[in-house]
Amino acid sequence: MSEESIETAELGDKIVGVLKTIFDPEIPVDIYELGLIYDVFVNEDDEVKILMTLTTPNCPVAETLPREVEEKVKSLDQVKDAEVEITFDPPWSQDLMSEEAKLELGLL
């Protein structure tokens, strides 16, 4: 594995760590374990793009949650820029939640 790949993987881990500190206000589980994060892209310039969804299109935090994700990811030293793209394709469902999240919510 090249040094650049290792650095990118380490940055990916740091980004996931940050994402796990952000919670959906209606559900006491972080957005990563909820399955709201579909993908995280990091380019060679350490610019990050996050593809995420919301539990519903009418989610009360539709305006604030993506901004919070961008700001927290941008706060990492290595990250030069961060952008969040919201998608509803595929729509979020409980199937996207981690086992940990399902357990936390009593769904297992």
Total domains, the chain: 1
Q: What is the DSSP string of 21-84?
A: T-B-TTSSSBTTTTT-EEEEEE-TT-EEEEEE--SSTT-TTTTHHHHHHHHHHHTSTT-SEEEE
9 assigned to some structural domain? yes
Q: 73 is in which domain, residue-wise? A: 3-94
104 assigned to some structural domain? no
81 assigned to some structural domain? yes
Query: Residue 12 above 70 pLDDT?
Result: yes
103 assigned to some structural domain? no
The enclosing domain of 85 has a CATH number of 3.30.300.130
- Per-residue pLDDT tens for 33-89? 999 999 999 998 999 999 999 988 888 888 899 999 999 999 999 999 999 999 999
34 assigned to some structural domain? yes
